Amino acid sequence: MPQPTEPAPRQPLYTVTADSLVAVDFAPRDLAPRLHRRPPGPYRRLFALPGTRAFTAGNLLARLPMGMFSVSAVVMIAGARGSYALAGAVTATGLAATGVAGPWVARLVDRYGQARVAVPATVTAVLGSLALLLCVRFGAPDWTLFAAYAATATTPNLGGMSRARWAHLLRDDPDGLHTANSYEQAADELCFMLGPVLASFLTGTFFPEAGTLVGAVLLLTGMLLFTAQRATEPPPRAGGGTARTPLRIPSLLACFVATGAVFGSMEVVTIAYADAQGHRSAAGAVLALQAAGSCAAGLVYGAVKPRGPAGRRFPVCLSAMAVLMSLPLLAARTADSLWALAPALLVAGMATAPTMVTAMTLVQDRTPADRLNEGMSLVVTALLTGVAAGSALGGWAAEHVSPTAGFTAPVAAAVTALLLNTISRIASSDSRRTH
């Protein structure tokens, strides 16, 4: 005769009242964990990897000054020398020096490792910032300002080094790498949104050199924390390598130049438009909305599983950017109001992060793993070149045509990026058919 079996032990489920914990129901033991377990989201899974939180915290701390240095230098030099022209020339020299020195520093990082190269390069850049501060403070000749600020060009590509770590850790997880790239793009937008605000606050509240001084301290401290995380550092490249570009399709760089022109022209034109509307002081806040839209879109894009390869998604993102960049032009022409322009910039910014995330995925796909920092640095150089060209184009259009017509510059740059990508794809397809 079969023996009756005992029921499985049961665990109480609880509800919390204002002053007590009351048992209200019971559930089998094997069901209880399922009632409380929730699958982790993509970002939670990302930062569950050992060492990722530590190197991300250090990188963010070091990356924040990237949005501070230019604003701080302009305020500091213009306030002491009474010349915005001199201040602009000094910062432009630093930008040009970064375009030259950046890829070489990145090549050394790939060859010898992040910690061995990034720390001395950062120390050199910090000394350059401090030298600029002292030269301004004690009235040194103008040429010393150019020399000091040019030394800051040795600052390593912090975003590139962080992305290289993610690529190393997630080399067998393309979905996880997509989420990591999305997070990094959102972090870029956040730093370049908060950096100028922090610099303006420091220089206006304390003393003109405060922004440069605090930025130098944050850069060095963050870099030391970042490079101390050796377990997540990619291995250095074996052998001497070649002098050729690490990107397997160099024409992608031309697309980055056009994309940079979108950013540079939009910034200058928005400032000119706000000035024409009598709200120049509000230009920074309106531009911050564009960065906020990009940051939010980047985080959402990273939480969504990508469909298809990056090469197929990239033209779709470029097309969306070309369409959305026309919204500020439409708002300026129809409403002729800065407050109508603000939401248009917010929506237009939402195309930026998905485009850049997909582009960075393409760079990672088409760059040898042991030369990824150099490839990322070349991308930054292309973007900076585009920003400079776009700024000049947008400024010319705003001054010689009208501030409203200036908004055609970012639209034209976005369409150019799409056309360059289309031409590149057609040429690549014809080459494959030929062979």
**Tokens at residue 349, please?**
């910014």
Q: Which residues of 180-202 are buried (b: 16+ CB within 10 A; e: fewer)?
A: bbbbbbbbbbbbbbebbebbbeb
CATH no. of 245-435: 1.20.1250.20
Helix (H, G, I), strand (E, B) or coil at 22: strand
Tell me how far CA of residue 182 lies from CA of 179, 185, 298, 301, in angstroms.
5, 5, 5, 7
Listed as ranges, residues in the chain with pLDDT below 50 are 10-29, 31-35, 243
Number of CB atoms found within 10 A of residue 67's CB: 23
**Domain segments of the chain: what residues?**
51-158+193-234, 245-435
Q: Which residues contact 21 (CB under 8 A, 6 or more apart)?
A: 14, 15
Res 329: pLDDT: 94
**Terminal Cα-to-Cα distance of the chain (whole angstroms):** 80
Tell me whether residue 413 is exposed, middle or buried, using C-beta atoms within 10 angstroms of its C-beta: 0 to 12, 13 to 18, 19 or more. buried
Q: What is the pLDDT of residues 375-427, one digit of tens each?
A: 888 888 888 888 878 888 888 888 888 889 989 999 999 999 999 988 888 77
Res 12: pLDDT: 46
d(C-alpha 121, C-alpha 155), whole Å: 6
Helix (H, G, I), strand (E, B) or coil at 16: strand
